[in-house]
Amino acid sequence: MPRLSEGSSIADRRTLAARSVIRYSRGMAETIFLKIIAGEIPCHKIYEDDQVFAFLDIGPLSSGHTLLIPKEPAETLDQLSDESAAALGRMLPRLSRAVLKASGATAFNVLQNNGASAHQAVMHVHFHIIPRFPDSAEGAGLGIEWPAGTLDNETGQRLAADITAALAEE
C-alpha cells in the first residue's frame, strides 16, 4: 500500500483512502452506518467524499434532520483520528448552510452523542444537524432540558487545571 507524504499524488491518496475504508469495515463490528456507507442499506444520501458521508436521519426530529458521519468507524468522538475530525469540521458549516437553505429554518442544533448513557444509539460517530422550528407543534426540532448548576471559583480552578494537564498529555 502506498504511504502518504507531502508529494503523494492524488491517485495515491485516493487508493489509500479507499483501502482504509475496506480495512476499517473488516476490523470493526458492523454498525448500521457502516452498512449505509457501503451501500448495503439504502439511505437518502446527501454527500460523500473520501472521509465523510451525509444522509437524512430516518427518524427526524424536524424536516431536514441530517446526519454527518466519518467513514472511519470510531465509536465515539474521543476515539476519532485528527484527519477524520478535520474532515468533519470542514464539512459541518457547509452542510449546515445547505440544510438551512433547503429546510427554510433559520436556527438549528448540532448534536453529537457519545456513549449509551448519553443517548448514543448507533455506535459510530455521528453529528446530527437538526433544523429548529420553534412554532411547530410537531417536528419542532431538538427539545433541550438544561439543568444548569453553578461553578464556584475553587472548583473552576481545579477542573481547568486538571483538564489542562490532561490535554498536555494528548
Q: To the nearest whole angstrom, how small is the minimum distance from the Cβ of residue 109 to ligand 5GP? A: 12
Q: To the nearest whole angstrom, how small is the minimum distance from the Cβ of residue 85 to ligand 5GP? A: 17
List contacts with ligand 5GP (CB under 6 A): 32, 41, 43, 55-59, 113, 119-122
Determine the residue with CB nearest ligand 5GP.
59
Q: Which is nearer to ligand 5GP, 5 or 117 (CB)?
A: 117
Q: Which is nearer to ligand 5GP, 67 or 87 (CB)?
A: 67
Q: Which of 65, 124, 126, 128 is catalytic?
A: 126
- As given in the structure block, the three cell numbers for residue 22 are 475496506
The answer to whether 37 and 55 are in contact (CB under 8 A) is no
Question: How far is 59 from 48, CA to CA, in rounded Å?
Answer: 21
The reply to whether 126 belongs to the active site is yes
Q: Which is nearer to ligand 5GP, 87 or 125 (CB)?
A: 125
The answer to whether 1 and 19 are in contact (CB under 8 A) is yes
Give the rounded distance of the alpha carbon of 94 from its chain centre. 14
Which DSSP letter does residue 3 get? P
Which DSSP letter does residue 75 get? S
